[in-house]
Amino acid sequence: MGEKLSIIQIQRKANALREDIINMLEAAGSGHCAGSLDLADIMATLYFNLMNIDPTNPDWADRDVFFLSNGHTVPVQYAAMAEAGYFDKAELLTLRKLGSRLQGHPERSRLPGLENTSGPLGSGLSQAAGYAYSLQYLDDSKHRFVYCVMGDGELDEGNNWEAAMFAGKYKLSQLVAFIDRNNIQIDGNTEDVMPLGDLVGKWESFGWHVLEIDGHNIQSIIDAVNTAKAITNRPTVIIAHTIPGKGVDFMEYDYRWHGVAPNSEQAKNAMQKLRSLDGKISSGNYNE
């Protein structure tokens, strides 16, 4: 079982993940900034508080499992895994490089601790639901939970709604899904590209318990997951409202940062933001 951090420690950890992400993406020269940054709080809370895991024994039979559906945000998962001790942090800088275990999109068979392969959008919830079905109906394993993080843009994919219907029908109560509601996708704002409309109503009508939270509030994330765990007759989806690019002011809210990496100047500026709490404190290291 990994360490269970306090809220302030998780906040610091989330910030560390953001720094890792900037370093990784700058070194890689490509990748996806916005979603990776905005998921840092959720990922830190899962890996350092909520999930029952053992980084030294990734396939531990009693673990909770995590499925990333929007695989392009995997830098934040790699960062969380490295910070948690699944592998050495130095390996983070191999992201997207030839021979690396840290593929541009996650590949299960390359890196212990990953539960699935994803990237093509819309299938992670199905995979998570399959695992949750097994726990609930085939293994009589009621104490384990299955977490799935999805993007909001990927909800355009019909496969998600097949999975939503499936999980609703079978009342997969050990399944806890997050929607990263950052309102952006590659071509623009989600409501311009393809309106998602009433997400709460949609998921409720599929038989899910729906919670809406501030996806950067650690306490809210913990509370929502604890609520989800207490609901034993249906799956729960947590619609986490987030700010794309969270933590780096010139990336925030800008859909153009969905799929690009910072150059060295931008990375330096980003790091300054992250290390000065957005300019609120001085940071000697980054003031030239």
Partner 1 sequence: MNNYLLNPDIFNDDVKQEPIRAGFGRGLRAAGESNDKIVALCADLTESTQVHLFRDAFPDRFIQIGIAEQNLAAVASGLARAGKIPFAVGYAAFHPGRNWEQIKTTIALNDQPVKIVGSHAGVTVGPDGATHQMLEDIALMRVLPNMIVVVPGDSLEAEKATRAIAENGKPSYLRLSREKSPIMSTDNSPFEIGKAYILREGSDVSLMGTGIMTYQLLVAAKILAEQGINAEVVHVPTIKPLDNQTILESVRRTGRVVTAEEAQVAGGFGGAVAELLSTDLPTPLLRIGMLDRYGESGTPHELLEYFGLTGQKMAEKIIEFVHTKSQYHREY
Interface ranges with partner 1 (CB under 8 A): 65, 67, 107-109, 115-120, 122-124, 126-135, 137-139, 158-159, 162-163, 165-166
By beta-carbon proximity to partner 1, the closer residue of 13 and 63 is 63
Host H or E run for residue 280: none
39 near 149, Cβ under 8 Å? yes
By beta-carbon proximity to partner 1, the closer residue of 21 and 51 is 51
Closest approach of partner 1 to the CB of residue 242, in Å: 25
Count CA within 13 A, CB hemisphere, residue 12: 5
- The amino acid at 113: G
Closest approach of partner 1 to the CB of residue 45, in Å: 23
Q: 84: which 2 tokens? A: 């948690």
From first CA to last CA, the distance across the chain in angstroms is 42
Collapsed DSSP state (helix, strand, coil) of residue 174: coil
Residue 43 to residues 50, 53, 138, 148, 210: CA-CA distances in angstroms?
10, 13, 28, 11, 19
Q: 275: which 2 tokens? A: 């290390």
Count CA within 13 A, CB hemisphere, residue 5: 18
By beta-carbon proximity to partner 1, the closer residue of 2 and 130 is 130
Exposed e or buried b per residue across 195-231, where buried means at least 16 C-beta atoms within 10 angstroms of its C-beta: ebeebeebbeebbbbbbbbebbbbebbbebbeebeee
User: Which residue has 């300019």 as its token pair?
Assistant: 279
Q: 35: which 2 tokens? A: 């979603």
Closest approach of partner 1 to the CB of residue 151, in Å: 16
Closest approach of partner 1 to the CB of residue 262, in Å: 28
By beta-carbon proximity to partner 1, the closer residue of 80 and 167 is 167
Q: How far apart are CA 147 and CA 51, in angstroms?
A: 9
Collapsed DSSP state (helix, strand, coil) of residue 173: coil
By beta-carbon proximity to partner 1, the closer residue of 148 and 270 is 148
By beta-carbon proximity to partner 1, the closer residue of 44 and 53 is 53
Residue 49 to residues 80, 112, 129, 228: CA-CA distances in angstroms?
12, 20, 22, 15
Closest approach of partner 1 to the CB of residue 205, in Å: 16
By beta-carbon proximity to partner 1, the closer residue of 79 and 163 is 163
By beta-carbon proximity to partner 1, the closer residue of 67 and 257 is 67
